[in-house]
Amino acid sequence: MTRLACLACLLLLAAPLHADVLVVDDDGGPGVDFTDIPPAILAARKGDALDVRAGTYSSFTVRASLRIIGSPGASVPGGATVSDTTKRTVVVLADLELSQVRVESCRGTVLLDGLAFDGPHVGARIAIDRCDDVRIHGCTGDGAVDRYGVRIDDSRAEIVGSALNAGRAAVSQCAAPNDGPPGVYVENARVQVALSSVEGGRGGDNYASCGSICGIPGAGNGGPGVRTYGQTTELFLAGTNADLAKGGFAGIAELCSCDGDPGPGIDHQQGTLRYSNVRIEAGGAYCTDSPPITGQGAQTVAFPADLTLERLSTATPGAMVGLRVHGAPGLNVRVYIGKSPLRVPANNPAVIERLTSEEWVKPVELIPAAGHIDVFLRIPVDADKGYAIFCQATAVDIATQSFQRSNSVPIVVR
Domain 308-412: CATH class, spelled out? mainly beta
- What integer pLDDT is reported at residue 173 of this predicted model? 63
Q: Following CA atoms 147, 220, 275, 162 in sequence, which dihedral angle do they give, to the nearest 10 degrees?
A: 30
- What integer pLDDT is reported at residue 400 of this predicted model? 85
- What integer pLDDT is reported at residue 175 of this predicted model? 66
- What integer pLDDT is reported at residue 16 of this predicted model? 46
| Spatial distance between the Cα atoms of 101 and 150, rounded to a whole number of angstroms | 10
pTM for this entry? 0.94
Q: Is the dihedral of CA 33, 36, 42, 44 positive or negative?
A: positive
H helix runs in 27-171, sequence order: 37-43
CATH 2.60.40.2060 location in the chain: 308-412
CA 2 to chain centre: 27
Largest CA distance in the chain: 73
| pLDDT tens, residue by residue, 135-153 | 999 999 999 988 999 999 9
CA distances for 404 relative to 243, 307, 348, angstroms: 20, 6, 10
- What integer pLDDT is reported at residue 170 of this predicted model? 85
Positions of the chain with pLDDT under 50: 1, 3-17
- What integer pLDDT is reported at residue 7 of this predicted model? 47
Q: Are 320 and 376 in contact (CB under 8 A)?
A: yes
Closest by CA to 222, choosing from 283, 291, 141, is 283
- What integer pLDDT is reported at residue 402 of this predicted model? 87
